[in-house]
């Protein structure tokens, strides 16, 4: 199974790229984590944010691999504990489908893309900056995998 993290935004700060790479590197081939960045539309003072989000959403939808289980990261999604995420990861691995995790830009995901996702996951009721979400998701996937394998990382 491949996990495709499809995220709005490019040219992230070094600490974001480094943090994501570190946890992605730790995951085994059975649940390899791959990043696809979707360029953000230009945000100006008079920008039509809904139109920009819609275009970003269209590019995200086009990046989702055919047949992949799609999970939208949304503040209004279902919160999962680490143990629940580990159980879900076990189910996803058993299904054998690739999956796509979708992270929106500064204003969130396009509502149409979010609506089409099979699941919605909330990392927190807090609003997190979209670059930080990449690192948190990668770390939590690694933590969930170590929990499945009985690795001492999750104590």
Instruction: Cite the annotated binding site for S-adenosyl-L-methionine by residue number.
Output: 73, 104, 123-128
Question: What DSSP character marks residue 30?
Answer: G
Q: 138 lies in a domain?
A: yes
Whole-angstrom CA distances from 123 to 39, 46, 49, 75, 143 are 23, 31, 24, 7, 14
Give residue 73's region: left, alpha or beta (phi > 0; psi -120 to 50).
beta
The pLDDT assigned to 44 comes to 87
Domain count of the chain?
A: 1
Tally Cβ neighbours within 10 Å of residue 120: 18
Residue 98's domain is classified under what CATH number?
A: 3.40.1280.10
- Give pLDDT tens digits for 46-99: 989 999 999 999 999 999 999 999 999 999 999 999 999 999 999 999 999 999
The pLDDT assigned to 47 comes to 87
Q: 13 lies in a domain?
A: yes
Instruction: Cite the annotated binding site by residue number.
Output: 73, 104, 123-128
- Give pLDDT tens digits for 24-47: 999 999 999 999 999 998 888 898
The pLDDT assigned to 41 comes to 86
Q: Which domain holds residue 76?
A: 3-149
The pLDDT assigned to 39 comes to 94
Q: 50 lies in a domain?
A: yes
Q: 155 lies in a domain?
A: no
Q: Which pTM value belongs to this model?
A: 0.93
Q: 26 lies in a domain?
A: yes
Q: 154 lies in a domain?
A: no
Which of the four pLDDT bands, split at 50, 70 and 90, describes residue 127? Answer: confident
Tell me how many degrees the CA angle 57-59-63 measures, rounded to the nearest 5.
110
């Amino acid at each position: 199974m491949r996990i495709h993290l499809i995220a709005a935004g490019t040219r992230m700060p070094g600490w974001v790229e480094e943090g994501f790479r570190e946890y992605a590197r730790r995951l085994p081939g059975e649940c390899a984590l791959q990043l696809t960045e979707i360029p953000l539309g230009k945000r100006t003072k008079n920008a039509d944010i809904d139109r920009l989000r819609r275009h970003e959403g269209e590019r995200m939808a086009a990046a989702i691999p055919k047949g992949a289980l799609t999970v939208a990261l949304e503040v209004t999604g279902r919160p999962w504990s680490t143990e629940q995420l580990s159980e879900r990861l076990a189910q996803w691995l058993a299904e054998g489908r690739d999956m796509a995790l979708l992270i929106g830009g500064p204003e969130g995901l396009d509502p149409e893309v979010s609506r089409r996702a099979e699941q919605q996951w909330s990392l927190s009721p807090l609003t997190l900056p979209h670059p930080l979400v990449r690192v948190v998701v990668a770390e939590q996937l690694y933590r969930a995998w170590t929990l499945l394998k009985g690795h001492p990382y999750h104590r």
